[in-house]
Amino acid sequence: MKMDADLLSEALTRLKRAQGQLAGVIRMIEEGDDCERVLTQLAAVSRALDRAGFKIISTGLRQCQVARERGEQPPMSEERLEKLFLALS
């Protein structure tokens, strides 16, 4: 299913934030930073990625619902969306 970039702007923002956080984690490791600080930041990256993924799935669900309301064929089956959702958890 092709996704509309405008609908995914929030997910894109989250991904860019995670990218910056990950760069920070890499830098922390390279500089020998404290293990607890590194893991705290790594957990933040993981949460940001999870939230972006859930936002993408949510957008897909909305697109399918709109298609059904218009009497059109949804771009993806509910089963496929469910499988993608479960892949994130």
**Tens-place pLDDT, residues 36-81:** 999 999 999 999 999 999 888 888 888 888 888 999 888 888 888 8
Structure confidence by residue, pLDDT tens digits, 49-60: 999 998 888 888
Q: Is 35 a domain residue?
A: yes
d(CA 3, CA 20): 24
29-67 in b/e form (b: 16+ CB < 10 A) is eeeeeeeeebeebbebbeebbebbbebbbebbbebbeee
Q: Is 84 a domain residue?
A: yes
Q: Is 81 a domain residue?
A: yes
Q: Are 57 and 81 in contact (CB under 8 A)?
A: yes
CATH number at residue 54: 1.20.58.1000
Tokens linked to 83:
């499988």
Domains identified in the chain, total number: 1
pTM, two decimals, is 0.78
Longest dimension (CA), the chain: 58
